[in-house]
Amino acid sequence: MTTHLSLDTFLGNLMQLQTIVVSSFGSNGPLWSLANEWWYYVAFGLFMMAYGSGPVLVRFAMVDAIVAMMIVLPLNISLWLVIWGVGVGAAWTTIGPVGDLRSVAGSQSFASSPSDGSTLG
């Protein structure tokens, strides 16, 4: 248990490296799922930058970063990343392309504000 409470383990958990480089901090075993999820969101962000408009070189660099990340991460995280990506793709087919997601996100922030400009409360 003392190795699970070391400064190295704590810092590794802060950097989302539990089960990759260090063990989960303390007795909180479910922290492994946060590390996996963190890396899936990083990959998704890189994918969105590669998918979006921008210089071709930058877009290729994002794809290279995803591939490098999948090579460096443990096999189980990389395999679950593929499954997670299939789920994202399935959701994407029902929601629509990225532009639709941005417009929906933008409209949600104004959905609760009154249209006459008055303030609530």
Is 53 among the domain residues?
yes
Is 37 among the domain residues?
yes
The domain tally of the chain equals 1
Predicted local distance difference test score (pLDDT) of residue 2 = 55
Is 49 among the domain residues?
yes
What the block records as the tokens of 53 is: 């408009």
Split at pLDDT 50, 70, 90, the class of 99 is: low
Is 52 among the domain residues?
yes
Residue 19: is its pLDDT beyond 60?
A: yes
Residue 26 DSSP one-character state: T
Is 63 among the domain residues?
yes
Contacts of 116 (CB under 8 A, 6+ apart): none
Average pLDDT over residues 71-78: 90
Mark residue 117 as left, alpha or beta (left: phi above 0; alpha: psi -120 to 50; beta: remaining).
Answer: left
- Provide the residue range defining the domain that includes 95: 31-100
What mean pLDDT is reported for the chain?
A: 79
Is 5 among the domain residues?
no
Contact 11, 2 (CB under 8 A): no
Predicted local distance difference test score (pLDDT) of residue 103 = 46
First to last CA, the chain: 51
Residue 68: is its pLDDT beyond 90?
A: yes
Split at pLDDT 50, 70, 90, the class of 107 is: very low
Contact 20, 36 (CB under 8 A): no
Is 119 among the domain residues?
no
Predicted local distance difference test score (pLDDT) of residue 121 = 46
Is 7 among the domain residues?
no
